[in-house]
Amino acid sequence: MTTNPSIFQAALSKGTAYDDQINELAARDTDVDSAVRTVTTDDVRNACDVLRPVFDRTNGLDGRVSIEVDPRLAHDTEKTAAQAVELWKIVDRPNTLIKIPATKEGLPAISRTLAEGISVNVTLIFSVERYQEVMDAYLNGLDAALAAGHDISKIHSVASFFVSRVDTEVDKRLDAIGTPQAVQLKGSAALANARIAYHAYQQVFEIDSRFPALREQGALPQRALWASTGTKNPDYADTLYVSELVAPNTVNTMPGKTMDAFADHGWVDTKSILGRAKESREVFDAISAVGVDFSDVFKVLEDEGVTKFVDAWTGLLGATEEQLSAAKKS
């Protein structure tokens, strides 16, 4: 289970489930930042308790809940690492994942957090190049955790690789180019990107020589998590980014609407992702050849991703401030 500022903002603004807690915080004259911290960490702690049987039954593999570091710290390594430790201590549940964005500044924070024996959900990964850096950060963190005496078999991590947003951005650029060759390539970038990413995962955790030494000490592979898997283009199958991305050691955090669609008429095709890195690179080459700059695509997506999280966090603070003020007047 995952959380983010947008989810919390919607829950606080539109529902009444948090009214009693907000009233109590208002009575104690709690400031808005502390109130948001209390509400979100309490919620995640409760969710962790609900999912604890799954966590125990799967030996810690599943039944985990993510809570995000303040996205305004996305480009501050020191503060991100410090808040990750703080959130871990406040929630105080072994099935928590601390969510850290995969910005350049986030990468060392990821390693530092893992070095403390803390499980991490790395978010906002769009490019395979950045994903490889994330896997390196994970292995560096495990090395440091092991050196510090932590039981690395208790450290879990997922790498949240965003899917549908890639098609949204690339398709927009292909439409702008407008040639028949460009238009024909619409809807092909996201799955190709994910397939190349999974090939990179297999290389690091199944083939290369570095991870086996850590595995002998109890380390687990950092699972690939497919994020942004709701279909945004109505011309595409509504389970496209689920059915086509089923593979070992992967997770899919699909939205509720997509989950219902998959339960109703989804399919599973494990051959869709395995062994298709070569043809997926050819897709990327074809898209690049018609004029799409993937380096710019991924930069735009990362910048937009951070901005969306910051905007949602700001909205969450604003909504909470309004509720605190209303509670004090009542």
Q: How many CB atoms lie within 10 A of CB 262?
A: 18
DSSP letters, 131-146, are HHHHHHHHHHHHHHHH
Catalytic option among 79, 89, 99, 328: 99
Q: How many CB atoms lie within 10 A of CB 175?
A: 11
What CA–CA distance (Å, rounded) separates 262 from 148?
Answer: 43
What CA–CA distance (Å, rounded) separates 181 from 174?
Answer: 9
Indicate if 99 belongs to the active site. yes
Going by C-alpha positions, the residue among 87, 159, 80, 88 that lies closest to residue 112 is 80
What CA–CA distance (Å, rounded) separates 107 from 134?
Answer: 7
End-to-end C-alpha distance for the chain, whole angstroms: 35
Cα dist. 321→38, 312, 324 in Å? 14, 14, 5
Give catalytic residue positions. 99
